Chains A and B, each alone.
Chain A
Amino acid sequence: MWRSAATAAQQAQNSGGAEIPPSLNGDVRTLADLLPAAARSGGDTPGLFGLDRNGAEQVLSWNDLERVTRQMASNLRLAGVRSGDRVLVSMHKSTASFLAMHAVLRAGAVGVPLDPLAPPPHASAVISSTAPVAAYLDPNTTERLAGLLPEDLLLCTDPGADLEGKGGVLAQANEVGSEAVDDAAGAHSLPVVRPHDPAYLIFTSGSTGTPKGMLHTHRSGLAYAELTVSTHRIDETDRVAGMSPLHFDMSTLELYSAPLAGAAVVVIPDTHLRMPASFVERSAALGITIWYSVPFQFRQIESRGAVERRDLSALRHLIYAGEPYPPGALRALMEKLPSIRVSNAYGPAETNVCTVHELSGMPDPETEIPLGRPWGDVRVRVVDEDRRDCELGEPGELWVQAPTVMTGYWQRPDLDEDRLLPSESPDEDPWYRTGDVVVADELGCLWFRGRADHQVKIRGVRLELEAVESVLTDAPGVLHAVVGPRSVDGGPLELVAAVVADSAHATMGEAAVSGSGPLALRTIQKWCGPRLAPAALPRAITVMPSFPLTASGKIDRRSVREVIARATSPEPSKSTEIAP
């Protein structure tokens, strides 16, 4: 069996890697133990570099982080939050958002990170299905979510509001809840947290537009953190860039892996990620050693970050995940960062991560980069449609069995039944069906071959094409819509759409396309703006008189997708190309 060979090979490879420091390993049984353990080891050394709202640097030691989150967690408990209750965290990346997530975990509650810029239908669905009892919100998020929040929701004081410097954070955190908690008292009011307790929920768009929540436990989150620390050899000399928003599963590296390793977290505000030159400047100034993000972000950094003009000598490891990185584009960045290690981490959010591939040198622009081999003792299968193991080199669906895999989907037993299959032995974790089609080679290395469904990754964000199509189809004047990915000149994937007008808006042609006609594209864009996440917004919309049909009379989505994927002109006309 190739899979047992793969596991053995992987274990052999891992045995040479750094182990988790024993002082941490033994003490940390849940994510709630991370900051107390880091404080015992790291004490007053810096644990987090953040920025306050005025852009001033904040440095918090491990002791600070432990004390503040203990007080915040204690205040959550005093305010009535119980183990297993959901707490919404809808904040832009900041010192405060890091503190909030850890406070929730230490209070035994379940963190529900929500994109502060989430379209209202998504926010509403997440809030109503999780029924949070408390929330940490930015001031502008509070405004955006007004009307969607339960009336009796406990609004926690934003621990980062209007503060300057770390003294402000500490003082403010003391005030969260009813009364200040002194150092000794805080710990007594915190609950015992167990490995199998639920810890956090990560939501993605579902195929019908209903978000799917993945419930991770302290065990699955910590298993991920342990594997990242040992596989990537992260230690207390590292400084990890927090480049992913909280609602994105990749934020787990900065939230959990960094404290486990005693590596300092450098919080990268969302604004810096839209401004690569600002990010690179901060990375150089603070001596960041590990970048972890999606290829889309790294391509922006490569082309606009002025990387070669900053001193990035501290940077030693670039880890990417979320989508394939075209080897030529990766090479362009590596040429500007000559001594850097590069790893591809692969895994649907349900699994955290399940395979890793570390590049052995400069990638050849014409040679595909593999997903990698299963890390740690993760077991994988590649199965055909009859659920039989595929031969080597034969494409099939990837199944994963690992301690890092989620417990299940939030309140969706139907999805659990479809995706999580009981293992042969009741003591073992279930198999998770990824829906990703892969092939395995003789070394146990996996290669991505597509999706078994209509999911795509745009800028690392997982999107179900049907969900985007259903929003477009509801737009005024639209009868049918088909959405598909395209890449212009080898650039990052983007979504494009084709629509057919409904009969009441049947007059097509120039008037429609120019925006003044019955089916105004700007109207469709205005419809989509508040309903779709930015990555899901179609970058171009083609109006078609009708769609081709399949033999069974359904819209032939595959052919329409092929047409719109090809519909690229070097100089797109303003009228049909829609700005983001």
Chain B
Amino acid sequence: MMHLIVAPIVLPAVVAAFLVLVLRHDLTSQRIVSMGATLALLAVTIWLYLSATDGAPTSYQLGDWRAPFGIVLVLDRLAALMLLLTALLAVAVLIYAMAGWDKAGRHFHPLFQFQLMGLNGAFLTGDVFNLFVFFEIMLIASYGLMLHGGGARRLRAGFHYVAINLIGSTLFLFAVGLIYAVTGTLNMADLVGKVAQIAPGDEALLRVGALLLLVVFALKAALVPLQWWLPSAYAAAPGPVAALFMMMTKVGAYSIVRVYTLVFGADAGAVADVAAPWVVPAALATLLLGAVGVLASPTLLGLACFSIVWSMGSLLLALGLFDQGGLSAGLYYLLHSTLSGAALFLLADLVRAQRGRIADRLVPASLLPHAHLLAGLFFVAAIAITGMPPLSGFLGKLLILDATWRGPLAVASWVVLLGTSLLVIVGFARAGSTLFWKVADRPPEPVEAARSVALPVAVIAALLGTTVLLSLFAGPVTRELTATAQQTRDIKAYVRAVNPAALAQSRSEPR
């Protein structure tokens, strides 16, 4: 029965291969198969989430090789939550892409499925080296998706993106090598015991390994000073791809939570809480820089990108506390910021397509064809993202403020989070009024082909609808997330699920 745990990885992999080998020339059947597979994935992840909510983490040992030696997948509430969020976002993005973007180049659907495989694998794996492998799968697919449609600007931004991630992968391997060299294992559950009993001479090496790993995850999560790649890459990527990439930054945040709660958490002996002094200050810097970027952006996509940087700052401000309150607040904000950020990217793409040559530059143009509809959506999206009442962004921010109050740097966190929120609100208000209210007296721009906006608008509205639902059902959702945070911080339960022998053994034999 629990073979379904491996389905979120196997299903996209098989479907992607099938799409590229058999259905390579037939877009219609590609769309049908891709959509069917993604819906099936959604069904599987819902089932996995439900089965994860009642009880302890479950592990799946591939090929039945025992845990520290074989490859192991672990399904707990946190992993199941991320899987469910990925599948939800994937369905929305895929529907949007079918309105035209998937025709812009070849192999959109196989790459999309491979991307899902990498994301799901990264959330499920219980092994640091496999985390590297799934990061690579995810990144390789993302290179293809980012360049989808071609063009000089995209190529140039793509080269930067690939180069920075290649360097990131190299650092990841250095970190993995260091950790393996001193502990002799890369299985996360096995690492828990081994890290705590590290030989005194190896502490420095392990600390370097742990912090190098943090650099890699911070690069993925776009934490200052490693955020420079994000605005140019996301702005150059096609709209639906940028929306899916919302999940890529979250993988970085997820990895930080997983590794620095489980392996280098409070019980890690000499390297206990090794990440804690770094994440919160970096998150504060990220908030500042993101807000300034939002104010300074000359384009709508640039604004969206910097608002993502800003939201990653708020997210890691909460997650960086590494305590119960911070984790559950952060998870609520993570759900909110993923869905509303994706909606903003899709909306920016739609607006750009409607404005012809002016594209998404924030200058007055002639009246948009569907101005009222788009302006309404932008208004809702702006309220959600900037965190104004009554939508989920506001509740998420309240939860974060409440969580930071008990942590270190409480005053700085409040001042920076509230101050930058104001800047972001100003930025969004200015962008919205320029886009939708200031009408220049000039002939309308020729728009390529009058695409139907019904389907894209429906997708964006649905995504924004989920943030409304998040705020309506905030009570039950936060209760679920509190349980998720509790389980994530229960290291013993995780180890017991993966490798029962390790718990007993870890106290007896230091390497």
* Chains A and B are bound partners: no
